[in-house]
Amino acid sequence: MAFVCIICENAGNNRVFTAREMMFGTRDTFDYFECSHCGTVQICQIPNLAPYYPDDYLSFDSKVEIAESFSRRFAAKFAGRYLLKGKDLIGKLVVDKKPWVKDHFPASMREYPMEIDFNSRILDFGSGTGKLLQSLHYFGFKDLTGADAFIERDIFYPTGVKIYKRGLGEFEPAFDLIMLHHSFEHLPNPLESLRQARRLMHKDSYCLIRIPVASYAWQKYGVNWVQMDPPRHLFLYTENSFRLLAQNADMTIEHVTYDSGAFQFWGSELYVRDIPLLDERSYWTNHKAATFSPEQMTGWQKQADELNAQGKGDMACFYLRRA
């Protein structure tokens, strides 16, 4: 059977691979194919995904919330001013001295100069229960909306953060910034989703999309590449195929930052050893896991930095505008 690429419509010479579910370690198998033309790695047939998003799926993010301590909430206000405007001495001190700031204020929002301020209307699509938005509230952002298909019902926080159980098609324009942090690869209709995101933007809005990218780690590890994450990740784009998709949605990519880390190596090396991501031998669940040495981890981080610099990391952040 010939599989047709959903991005570029090529049907010729597409290689099929069988990959296993290894986050939970069910080891259920799923067929994917790699488009011989644009390089997108995609699932051959989308199965019933419900069993692969169990109730605790959204709670894996175990970061301590800023709200848990008064001093953090207080410090975050100054840090936010420094990170967004570059001008706040106390904020600079907080950012320099407190490593938790980095964990809560996404690098993608501060390392590229988007024209946003604390009043910008921000939509985080695929927000889960809204931990990132709650953090952004404490950094000073005032208009924060989230959406996620997998939450039980709408959530309205006392902070003013609103999370809806909705698709992109159910929102009204406009937002100044729409963000999808590792949710786009889970969406079954990428072109339609991007068009919907565009509908919610005005001419000066940004859409920030962080996704896995099929590049060096895919070449090296194949079906053991940790970012394949079958069957949850439906599409693993290349930079070129994502550009084509954006173009088809009448969007332009203004900037790309590669932001991959050591995870592409240690995660994939776990799968090579038949160890699931949530196994107790995995660094993901156990920071004292001795499966890999500290030297290996440092080496992999260094290699990830080099790959990012060459545009070959396995994750990237795309900054899109309306064309």
Residue among 16 and 272 whose Cβ is closer to Zn ion: 16
Q: Minimal distance in Å, beta carbon 9 to Zn ion?
A: 7
322 SS3 class: strand
- Return the residue of 3, 5, 95, 275 that touches Zn ion, per CB under 5 A: 5
Q: Minimal distance in Å, beta carbon 35 to Zn ion?
A: 3
- Asked whether position 8 contacts Zn ion by CB under 5 A, the answer is yes
As a whole number of angstroms, the distance between CA 82 and CA 94 comes to: 9
Its sign, for the CA torsion 243, 245, 246, 247, is positive
Q: Note whether 217 and 258 are within 8 A (CB).
A: no
Angle of helix 70-85 relative to helix 131-139, nearest 10 degrees, comes to 80
Q: Minimal distance in Å, beta carbon 227 to Zn ion?
A: 18
Q: Minimal distance in Å, beta carbon 242 to Zn ion?
A: 11
Q: Minimal distance in Å, beta carbon 207 to Zn ion?
A: 22
Residue among 88 and 239 whose Cβ is closer to Zn ion: 239
Q: Within positions 118 to 177, which residues make up the interface with Zn ion, using CB under 5 A?
A: none
- Return the residue of 35, 144, 211, 315 that touches Zn ion, per CB under 5 A: 35
Two structure tokens written together for 12 = 């010729």
- Asked whether position 6 contacts Zn ion by CB under 5 A, the answer is no
- Asked whether position 281 contacts Zn ion by CB under 5 A, the answer is no
As a whole number of angstroms, the distance between CA 67 and CA 65 comes to: 5
Burial (0-12, 13-18, 19+ Cβ within 10 Å), 299: middle
How many CA atoms lie less than 13 Å away from 141 in the CB half-sphere? 24
Q: Minimal distance in Å, beta carbon 27 to Zn ion?
A: 28
Segment near Zn ion (CB under 5 A); pick from 37-45, 52-60, 266-274, 315-323: 37-45
- Asked whether position 249 contacts Zn ion by CB under 5 A, the answer is no
Two structure tokens written together for 156 = 């309205």
- Asked whether position 316 contacts Zn ion by CB under 5 A, the answer is no
- Return the residue of 4, 28, 31, 37 that touches Zn ion, per CB under 5 A: 37
Q: Within positions 39 to 58, which residues make up the interface with Zn ion, using CB under 5 A?
A: 40
State the number of binding residues for Zn ion (CB under 5 A).
Answer: 8
169 SS3 class: helix
- Asked whether position 38 contacts Zn ion by CB under 5 A, the answer is yes
Two structure tokens written together for 127 = 């927000």
Q: Which helix (H) or strand (E) holds 119?
A: none
- Return the residue of 7, 101, 178, 246 that touches Zn ion, per CB under 5 A: 7
User: What is the DSSP track for 69-96?
Assistant: -HHHHHHHHHHHHHHHHS--HHHHHHHH
Residues of this chain that interact with Zn ion (CB under 5 A) are 5, 7-8, 10, 35, 37-38, 40
